[in-house]
Amino acid sequence: MDPQSRTNSSRTIASYEQIAVEYARDTAGSGVLAGALARLAEVVPNGHALEIGSGPGWDADVLEEAGLTVRRTDVTQAFIDFQGSRGKAVDRLDVISDELDGPFDAVVALHVLQHVGPDDLAGVLAKVAGALHLGGRFLVSIPVGEGVSWEDGESGNSYYRVLRTEDAFTAELARVGLSPEWTERSADEGGWLAVLAQRR
């Protein structure tokens, strides 16, 4: 990770450290990607999944209820502590600088990769592919668009954010051997793209 990427990442993490509990409260039971999580559970029944950026852990809860075993990880200590208060074990993991281990049946990264800079994305996706069994699945969501910016949240904290087009992102996936087999776009303007890809 170059010095600028490290600075961008540290500043974003610091913002999440300040709002983790509020974020957990605001997203509890939201089920925004419930359909995508259900689809993953169908194709890797009783599988072992790595979740990158677990946050409050609501998505991991859904996957575990569906029969998967989930290794929860996050880089934000406040989220790790929040899940610890819920009785959940969470490993500290920085997807840019740390190894992902494995192999896993699935890797999940929802509402995470928008914080990964253009120069770091290829390396992150290569690590994801390397952490999967052949035939394993990667479930990911990204905000759709173009450009790099700092976004100010309602709390006043700033978050480094990269927008990517669907074509550009799926091409990046293909370059590391991840073949999209299902996609879903949210209905709102710009919106989010969810992708379920398979390691070929």
What does the pLDDT read at residue 188? Answer: 65
- pLDDT bucket at 198, cuts 50 / 70 / 90: very high
Q: Where are the beta strands (DSSP E) in 15-131?
A: 48-51, 69-74, 90-92, 104-109
Q: What is the pLDDT of residue 47?
A: 98
pLDDT digits over 72-114, tens only? Answer: 999 999 999 999 999 999 999 999 999 999 999 999 999 999 9
Residue among 40, 48, 83, 85 nearest 68 (CA): 48
pTM for the model = 0.95
Neighbours of 148 (CB within 10 A): 13
Q: How many helices (H) and strands (E) does the chain have?
A: 6, 9
Domain extent listing, the chain = 3-199
Query: Is residue 198 within 8 Å of residue 106, measured between CB atoms?
Result: no
Tens of pLDDT, residue by residue over 149-164, are 998 877 778 999 999 9
CATH entry 3.90.1200.10 includes domain 3-199: no
Q: How far is CA 132 from the centre of its chain?
A: 15
